[in-house]
Amino acid sequence: MRTRASILHLDLDAFFASVEQRDKPSLRGKPVIVGGVGQRGVVSTASYEARVFGVHSAMPMWEARRRCPHAAFLSGRFRAYRQASEQVMGLLRALSPRVEPLSLDEAFVDLEAAESVVELGAAGVQRVAAELKAAVTETTGGLHSSVGLGSSKFIAKLATELGKPDGLHLVEPGTEVSVIAPLPVSVLPGVGPVTAEKLIRVGLRTVGDLQAAPLADLVREVGKAHGRGLHELAHARDDRPVVPEREAKSISVEDTFETDLTDRDQLGSIIDRDARLVARRVREAALFARTVQLKIKMADFTSITRARTLDGATDRAETIAAVARELLAALDIADGVRLLGVGVSGLTDIAQEHLFDLTAGSDSHDDHLALEVPTSGSDEQKHPERVSEERRPAAWTPGADVTHNAYGPGWVWGSGLGRVTVRFETAETGVGPVRTFALDDPDLALMP
């Protein structure tokens, strides 16, 4: 275990919503909710102004609209989010060569790898962290971050949570056990709602309760491996290293539909479009994929996954789409599909022969009832092992960037009945005017 607070954790505050407020002056200081804007959409991120009304990530969008009807509901612009993320990650890598990104908006930094920093002592490290926060805001054009400092990854991340929003918090080495003792058991990594319920049922409500509980009791309630892990974390023992790079294990795109789909031609067209997005991400990562995956969720929430391993590796959209279509053809979709996903795995940096031999290698599946609401990419629900891409809007969805030959750049305020309403403003212009156009106006176009 480390004796110095040499691990830094940074989290961009309400990231997606903050980027939207940065780029849309009329939304600054107002509730903004980013996510799927359809009937079955879910919240990816809510601004702090929206959180006052009880809106949070993973909440069904209809519930968010009920709680905060006056908010701006936007579909998201992942290119803008990725650009801001790259700026921040560049600042972190300039601070230390050992940076572990967890998602677009969150990362660990090992300051032990930056001896000039860690040798400054606690006060010096805090000063460096404060300078980092200021640099993030300046470089990204106004985004704020929360930073935690601790002797382990668990403690550093916890320190970030204790300092949110826009905070800087250090947990002094030697005080970790006492700091976490009064906190609820849910602060421990690996304690989700089910585990928390089990622990609370036997009177283990706080981390302090876990510290006082015999290991045998924890093992009996949650199993041997999980019980031992919780016992270690409850005593602030966490020696996980900061891993500089996380290898993507898969790349995927998912669509949740407002109405259940049964038309195979329509689903095939969606597969083709999603395959192009997946292939683009594969090429951007300079990789090739050996396995193509198809995921569908039926109207009754039954989730079905099929996968086929190629005799080779590919980065071609045509190959990915062809395999995914074949996998769909073997499934009974008469009851309707509410979610469809196309993905690839078995990623390699070596191109292989026989890219078009689509003979079956291995087919895997898991059929089970999935009662959760499907979610798309979220800056608050982290899946570091999977790179997931949300589609750029193919229609005039709220928040999408547009340009007009006469009025310049703006964003979609809303659309319907053959018209689209646009607010013409950018991060630099201040609040701009709102104008309405016909959907087929030749002077108006979606930005790529």
Residues 6+ apart with CB under 8 A from 417: none
- CA-derived radius of gyration, the chain: 24
Residue 294: in which H helix or E strand, if any? strand 288-298
**Of 20, 25, 28, nearest to 73 (Cα)?**
20
Amino acid identity of residue 346, one-letter, is G
Q: Catalytic residue positions?
A: 106
- What gap in Å lies between CA 58 and CA 340, rounded to an integer? 18
- What gap in Å lies between CA 374 and CA 35, rounded to an integer? 12
Please tell me the number of Cα atoms within 13 Å of 241 on its side-chain side: 7
Chain position carrying tokens 């949110």: 164
Q: Are 6 and 110 in contact (CB under 8 A)?
A: yes
**Of 133, 165, 132, 170, nearest to 5 (Cα)?**
170
Q: Are 156 and 145 in contact (CB under 8 A)?
A: no
- What gap in Å lies between CA 104 and CA 89, rounded to an integer? 9
Residues 6+ apart with CB under 8 A from 24: 72, 399, 411, 423, 425, 427
